[in-house]
Amino acid sequence: MHTSPGELAQALKQEGYLIDQETATTLFLGLYLKKPCLIEGPAGVGKTHLAIALAKAERRKLIRLQCYEGLDITKALYDWNYAKQLLRLQLAKTDDWEQIKLNLFSEEFLLARPLLESIRSEEPVLLLIDELDKSDEEFESFLLELLAEQQVTIPELGTITSKANPIVILTSNNSRDFSDALRRRCIHIYLTYPTLEREMSILSSQVPDLTEQLVQEVCEFVAKVRKLPLQKLPSVSESIDFACALKALQKGKVNYSNLMGLLNVLLKYPKDIVKLEERLKKWDSELKVRMD
């Protein structure tokens, strides 16, 4: 456990994640108060990466539950080993159903999924519930017991309480809102696209052999692209990929008239690429006028 926000930020930096002071303070308080942290923001701003870096910084095993539409407790919490139960029934030496039932629904036949695995773990873990907004409200309500009391209830076995107090991180891309009950149980962190200066620092740390001029040009270019009405704005990781692509092609600067093929690294939808190509022509013309 780190003793200050600054110490936590330094530990995350050593794991390759740069965090601002405000976010470091909120995250530190979440850890200190032993409350789940709900990290929200647009896709690609580093929410999942923060959780992964935090697990490394805290020397905890990472257990990840990737949410999706239709996720239920049999995939998230537990299920029963039906093949093994069937074999047990076939080998049963008694017709006493009550006795057989007790044996069938015991620890021996239990399949632990990520949530139960994190609760039962005897070693320190970080539970990442990733993209919770993709699941439905029923699953969200099911999580409340775990978030509030670090325990889960299995009808056949009763209540199972956490042994190692896992750090719980939830992430959301804001595709839907959450209930007050869930928000009340969490410390809230909102991540957005980094400032120009911070993105330059991130890029320099991730691709250290880029020139300072190219780092600045890439970050300024990406910042301009993010102001366009695109279906998906470029993330920080895509900024890094774009810079690496320029390096691979031995381009020392961002030339608006010579980015064909490179835009596919930065953007993910054909109509976004077409839109940016049209805007590049305008930016290139404006640049030439200023130079003249």
CA-based nearest residue to 103, from 93, 117, 112, 118: 93
pLDDT digits (tens, 9 = 90+) for 49-107: 999 999 999 999 999 999 999 999 999 999 988 888 788 777 666 566 666 665 677 77
Nearest to 170 by CA among 35, 75, 28, 13: 35
Q: In whole angstroms, how large is the CA radius of gyration of the chain?
A: 24
CA distance 86 to 83: 5
Classify the C-alpha dihedral 282-283-288-290 as positive or negative.
Answer: positive
pLDDT digits (tens, 9 = 90+) for 51-66: 999 999 999 999 999 9
- Considering Cα of 42, then 44, then 46, then 49, what sign does the dihedral take? positive
pLDDT score at 285: 81
Cα–Cα dist 271/80, whole Å: 46
Residues of the chain with pLDDT under 70: 91-103, 287-292
pLDDT score for 93? 62
- The reported pLDDT for the residue numbered 291 is 62
Instruction: Report d(CA 35, CA 149) in Å as an integer.
Output: 10
pLDDT (0 to 100) of residue 292: 54
CA angle 76, 117, 75 (to 5 degrees): 15
**Largest Cα–Cα distance in the chain?**
95
The pLDDT value given to residue 55:
97
Query: At how many degrees (to 10) do helices 97-104 and 82-90 cross?
Result: 150
Please give the helix or strand (H or E) that residue 102 lies within, else none: helix 97-104
The strand pairing partners of 40, in sequence order, are: 172, 190
> What are the distances in angstroms from CA 179 to CA 86, 136, 154, 219?
40, 11, 23, 36
